């Protein structure tokens, strides 16, 4: 016999609603910052991974293996509890004032995700026929310029589906930031539950928010892909 | 304009270019032919260093390719290259393909680069395709765009690596017509091709290669009427009358 009475009004208005909205905004901010930075960093690491210079290539390889193969939660704890100790005092003071939680979470998410994105982009680059590089080089482009104007724009189009996965992972993984006190969606849902014992309602709200966020990210990337990137495929 | 002196090249143990000595003067049109695997493609690919040479000296437009200080990107900008498979950039429109290098390498303003590109497109008969993408064009059209793309850098030398070998027979003519027009304008050209009609009509000199060695080097009329080498005679027989091969 179900003797639980649902009370959705608790989370659709008033103080707890405000908490959830702040949580949502923080999750959006954390995800957006991490996605953009992880993409840029991933691109850089991917190019380094394919560089002719051996030390550069090895550095990128080590970076990839290191950050792909350690748990995100450990990395978040490392940046939050560990990196703190080795920074100069004046940076520490500034961080204490501004709140280091958000920055630590963003750094961990960015670096962790960039490793996966770099591998996705690299496999995209490897799938571009080598004649494209030859055509670019024979026109007088340097290796890096060839990458920039000819190879990467094509590789990224191919990489879109795995990239969407990485972007979705960032949005979902951002929930781990609650463990260091970032007041994002999951943190706020937990708060609401603690104050009201309305765990079902609170986490239903969180679930809906993450689901909606994922669908929006997927739709945005797909629209961009079809309207802009795949224009050359149209008959 | 281009001088090979004792040039050698190996792929691992395979001796693909064996003591190449060749001098090409400005405005000359040279056709390189020979059986597949003879080293003819490798020969023209050394000129813009898509394939570096292992021994000997190669001077292109005053730049010494065996000198490490030679700016290879600068050299390549002066030498146009047309590939068998066209290799247009599929993500860019026709006009984007043609203007990319002039804008990014020569720093020509976009508007000016597009005007020059349109002039070139008109010259190859594809002005109405400016906004099309490569995948929407036929092979012959793609190759003509590729020629326009190479010409947009105002090269001093044009290299063609079997430019019609990947085309349907009915599209070969349109590409050869563009190349002939270019030859008549005084461009220095090296063309690897099996189109003997083109060689006969347009080339100043024909080079025949086999096994990495230049076996014959003669004006087209001599090469076609009086080939010296047995290997060249055999090659010409098969090329001109493929149905009558000497089958056992």
pLDDT at A21: 93
- Which residues of B fall within a CB distance of 8 Å from A235? 136
Would you call A132 and B134 a contact, using CB atoms and an 8 Å cutoff? no
Interatomic CA distance for residues B68 and B105, integer angstroms? 21
Cβ within 8 Å of residue A21, ≥6 positions away: none
| Chain center to CA of A90 | 29
Q: Which helix (H) or strand (E) is A92 found in, with range?
A: helix A89-98
Place of tokens 């930075």: A37
The torsion angles phi and psi of B65, rounded to 5 degrees, stand at -75, -15
Contact A134 B87 (CB under 8 A): yes
> B51 to chain A: nearest residue by CA?
A134
Rounded-to-integer distance, Cα B205 and Cα B212, Å: 18
| pLDDT score at A28 | 94
How confident is the model at residue B244, as a pLDDT?
58
Residue A135 has pLDDT above 80, yes or no: yes
Strand B205-210, strand B29-33: pairing: parallel
Contact in structure between B236 and B244 (CB atoms under 8 Å) = no
* Residue found under tokens 């304008």: B185
Bridge partners of residue B80, in order along the sequence: B158
% of chain A surpassing 70 pLDDT: 96
CATH of A9-234, one of 3.40.50.300, 3.40.190.10, 1.10.3720.10, 3.40.720.10: 1.10.3720.10
The rounded distance, in Å, linking the Cα atoms of A128 and B91 is 12
The answer to whether A232 contacts chain B (CB < 8 Å) is: yes
Averaged pLDDT, A12-41: 93
CA dist., res. A64 & res. A58, Å (int):
10
pLDDT given for residue B248 in this prediction: 47
Residues of chain B with pLDDT under 50: 248
Q: What does the mean pLDDT of chain A come to?
A: 90
Looking at residue A235, what is its pLDDT?
44
* Chain B partners within 8 Å of A127 (Cβ): none
10 Å CB burial of residue A166 (0-12, 13-18, 19+) is buried
Question: Taking the mean position of all CA atoms in its chain, how far away is CA A34?
Answer: 4
At which residue do the structure tokens 């804008």 appear? B103
Which residue in A has a C-alpha nearest to residue B137's C-alpha? A235
C-beta atoms of A135 and B79 within 8 A: no
Does A145 score more than 60 pLDDT? yes
Pairing of strands B63-64, B213-218: unpaired
Identify the closest residue of chain B to A130 by CA–CA distance.
Answer: B87
Q: Model confidence over A152-163: pLDDT tens digits?
A: 999 988 898 899
Residues of A in contact with B149 (CB under 8 A): 139
A139 vs B105: CB contact, 8 Å cut-off? yes
Nearest CA in chain A to B90: A232
Cβ–Cβ gap B77/A140 under 8 Å: yes
Nearest by CB to residue B73, choosing from A135, A142, A229, is: A142
Interface of A with B in 111-140 (CB under 8 A): 131-132, 134-140
Q: What local confidence, expressed as pLDDT, does residue B117 receive?
A: 96
Check residue B245 and give its pLDDT.
Answer: 52
Q: Are B190 and B159 in contact (CB under 8 A)?
A: yes
Q: Would you say residue A214 has pLDDT above 90?
A: yes
Query: Burial level of A77, CB count in 10 A (0-12/13-18/19+)?
Result: middle
pLDDT of residue A14: 86
Q: What pLDDT is stored for residue A4 in this prediction?
A: 84
Environment class of B75 (CB within 10 Å of its CB; exposed 0-12, middle 13-18, buried 19+): buried
Burial B16-49 (b: 16+ CB within 10 A, else e): bbbebebebeeebbbbbbbbeebbbbbbbbbbbb
Q: Are A140 and B153 in contact (CB under 8 A)?
A: yes
Three-class DSSP labels, A144-156: HHHHHHHHHHHHH
Residue B182, classed as helix, strand or coil, is helix
């Amino acid at each position: 016999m179900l003797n639980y009475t649902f009370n959705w009004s608790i989370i659709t208005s008033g103080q707890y609603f405000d908490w959830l909205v702040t949580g949502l905004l923080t999750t959006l901010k954390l995800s957006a910052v991490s996605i953009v930075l992880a993409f840029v960093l991933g691109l850089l690491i991917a190019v380094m991974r394919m560089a002719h210079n051996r030390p550069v290539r090895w550095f990128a390889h080590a970076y990839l293996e290191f950050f792909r193969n350690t748990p995100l939660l450990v990395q978040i704890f490392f940046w939050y509890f560990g990196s703190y100790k080795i920074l100069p005092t004046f940076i520490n003071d500034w961080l204490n004032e501004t709140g280091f939680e958000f920055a630590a979470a963003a750094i961990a998410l960015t670096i962790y995700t960039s490793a996966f994105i770099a591998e996705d982009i690299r496999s995209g680059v490897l799938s571009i026929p080598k004649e494209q590089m030859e055509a670019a080089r024979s026109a007088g482009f340097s290796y890096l310029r060839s990458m920039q104007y000819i190879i990467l724009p094509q590789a990224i189009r191919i990489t879109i589906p795995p990239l969407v996965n990485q972007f979705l992972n960032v949005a979902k993984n951002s929930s781990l930031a609650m463990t260091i006190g970032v007041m994002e969606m999951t943190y706020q849902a937990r708060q609401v539950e603690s104050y009201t014992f309305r765990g079902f309602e609170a986490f239903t709200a969180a679930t809906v928010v993450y689901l909606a966020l994922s669908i929006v990210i997927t739709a945005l990337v797909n629209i961009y892909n079809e309207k802009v990137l795949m224009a050359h495929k149209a008959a | 304009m281009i001088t090979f002196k004792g040039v050698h090249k190996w792929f691992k143990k395979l001796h693909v270019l064996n003591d190449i000595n060749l001098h090409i003067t400005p405005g000359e049109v040279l056709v390189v032919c020979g059986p597949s695997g003879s080293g003819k493609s490798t020969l023209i690919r050394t000129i813009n260093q898509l394939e570096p040479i292992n021994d000997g000296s190669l001077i292109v437009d005053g730049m010494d390719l065996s000198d490490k200080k030679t700016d290879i990107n600068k050299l390549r900008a002066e030498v146009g290259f047309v590939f068998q498979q066209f290799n247009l950039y599929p993500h860019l429109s026709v006009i984007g393909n043609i203007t990319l290098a002039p804008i990014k390498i020569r720093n020509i303003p976009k508007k000016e680069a597009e005007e020059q590109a349109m002039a070139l497109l008109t010259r190859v008969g594809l002005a109405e395709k400016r906004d099309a993408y490569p995948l929407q064009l036929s092979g012959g059209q793609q190759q003509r765009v590729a020629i326009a793309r190479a010409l947009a850098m105002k090269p001093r030398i044009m290299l063609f690596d079997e430019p019609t070998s990947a085309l349907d027979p009915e599209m070969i003519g349109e590409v050869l017509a563009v190349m002939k027009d270019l030859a008549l304008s005084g461009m220095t050209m090296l063309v690897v091709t099996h189109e003997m009609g083109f060689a006969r009509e347009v080339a100043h000199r024909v080079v025949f290669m086999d096994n990495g060695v230049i076996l014959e080097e003669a004006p087209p009329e001599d090469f076609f009427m009086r080939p010296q080498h047995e290997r060249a005679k055999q090659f010409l027989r098969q090329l001109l009358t493929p149905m009558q091969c000497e089958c056992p």
